[in-house]
Chain A
């Protein structure tokens, strides 16, 4: 059992295994399940993620019309141009956007760790899988690795925007994804932790300020950028770059920042982008349409 990232890394090193295997083992012990039970359930989550990406790439639009269709644009650009940021990075962006557009349209997604941040992990996973020659099994394990880091964050800080701002949601999601990319690319557990820290440190203080209280603006694009920085952080960690501040201290810093964050910036739609003239106008228009419907 692990309660901190330090304990998680020590366990993986002690047993000379991956973080994914530590997570699977813990789940088996805790719920008295077989390896296959645990593995197959995660495989089912993977299928939902894949379907959400496909449906987003086909094109969806939310009820309000605020979001939708950007995944299609990104995908077209990807096929017709050589993106400045590289094909893998922009592919992650397009798939993260696809997932969150489906979420905003009340389609089916898998929360990772939340629905508002559901794009980061699958966006990154489906963008790097071919390059890293990942099998279906590797992809399922990727999700267990993200889950292991996510559990530590959820228990030592928070994963909801209402409690800790967007740093707790997209911040956690992209950091989890970064750690799992490192493992999939053959990095050490220690390097996974560095990738996680590098990512979350860059997200500290990010507020949750959804326009009209909807998980659309700016959530969809924050997932896109969260996915891209996960891959950049993974590359940094694989290059040997280390986080000066240890992961568990980064997580507790995120917690303390979230605690002191004003309520206006914690999913109340009262601050930040929600409180801009355009944000307020959109909220008025959306809700007046709803009441006349």
Chain B
């Protein structure tokens, strides 16, 4: 199966210009960071690589990433003024041009944080506004983006995976694909679960309260 599945990956998205990869794609990566962090953001640091680093000012990649951090959609007229909106909300922002070699020319590493929490993700804008999140808090991610998914950060303990799958089974939610990664034995781990449907809020609450679960994020679309 190719990376592009829907006809609307090609004829779409509807967006504010000027670049689908450098503007619309950047908005989507920023949104992913916002929703994965799921807490108030005080500081954002964006490391830009490849074409992103070379042309971000011209393409509005900087405003687009921050627009995503603020939760705007790709067709939101406020994108153009996102930096000042973020400033007004007290969010501190840094952009860093990095000339390290990366596997894709349009790559950004976003760090979002507040006084107590920190999240780091790597996103790639692969063309026509389609994006992939390839790394989350140091874990390699392999999300097709073709199905809803949940990402569960947990402690590598007996029963952590079983407690999650048991809840999904109880609510009759089918798992399409599942992957588990960990940093080391007994340390922080990540479950990536692709589902056939979006989960209801009550399922989400049940999952958050399950044993050894640290953090949960939903990826819709």
Contacts and interface: CB of A to CB of B under 8 A. Distances in A.
Interface in B157-196: none
A115 B127 contact: no
Contact of B51 (A102, A105, A109, A267): A267
A115 B23 contact: yes
B3 interface: yes
Nearest to A47: B14
B201 interface: no
A110 B14 contact: yes
A237 B16 CA distance: 35
A70 to B, nearest CB: 16
Interface of B: 2-24, 50-51, 54-60, 75, 77, 79-80, 104-106, 125-129
Given A45-B11, A151-B2, A113 B127 contact: yes
Contacts of B14: 44-45, 48, 108-111
5 contacts: A107-B17, A146-B10, A151-B2, A154-B4, A160-B126
Contact of B7 (A27, A48, A103, A212): A27
Interface in A33-88: 38, 41-42, 44-45, 48
A103 B22 CA distance: 13
A158 to B, nearest CB: 6
Contacts, number: 177
Given A154-B128, A163-B127, A213-B59, A115 B17 contact: yes
Interface in A265-280: 266-270
Q: Which of B10, B55, B75 has the most CB of A within 10 A?
A: B10
Given A110-B11, A162-B105, A212-B58, A104 B6 contact: no
Given A146-B11, A268-B105, 9 more contacts: A42-B11, A104-B17, A114-B20, A115-B129, A160-B21, A215-B58, A268-B50, A268-B55, A286-B58
A229 to B, nearest CB: 20
A213 B17 contact: no
Interface string A246-273: 0000000000000000010011111000
B127 A216 contact: no
Contacts of A147: 7-8, 10-11
Contact of B128 (A111, A143, A215, A266): A111
A118 B128 CA distance: 10
Nearest to A168: B127
B127 A104 contact: no
Nearest to B21: A160
B15 A108 contact: yes
Contacts of A27: 6-8
Given A151-B2, A159-B127, A104 B7 contact: no
A26 B50 CA distance: 35
Contacts of B56: 213
Contacts of A162: 21-22, 50-51, 105-106, 127
Contacts of B16: 106-109
A111 B56 CA distance: 19
A290 B12 contact: no
Interface in A158-193: 158-163, 168
Contacts of A267: 22, 51, 54-55, 105
Contacts of A199: none
Contacts of A96: none
A112 interface: yes
A154 B1 CA distance: 12
A160 B54 contact: no
A291 B17 CA distance: 21
B8 A41 contact: yes
Q: Which of A26, A115, A286 has the most CB of B within 10 A?
A: A115
A110 B179 CA distance: 35
Contacts of B125: 160
What 5 pairs between A and B have smallest CB-CB spacing?
A: A155-B2, A213-B55, A213-B58, A160-B127, A103-B17
A215 B59 contact: yes
Interface string A106-134: 11111111111010010000000000000
Contact of B19 (A116, A263, A290): A116
B124 to A, nearest CB: 10
Contacts of B13: 110-111
Contact of A210 (B5, B8, B23, B55): B55
A144 interface: yes
A150 B11 contact: yes
A269 B11 contact: no
A38 B8 CA distance: 10
B54 A111 contact: no
B17 A105 contact: yes
Contacts of B126: 160, 163
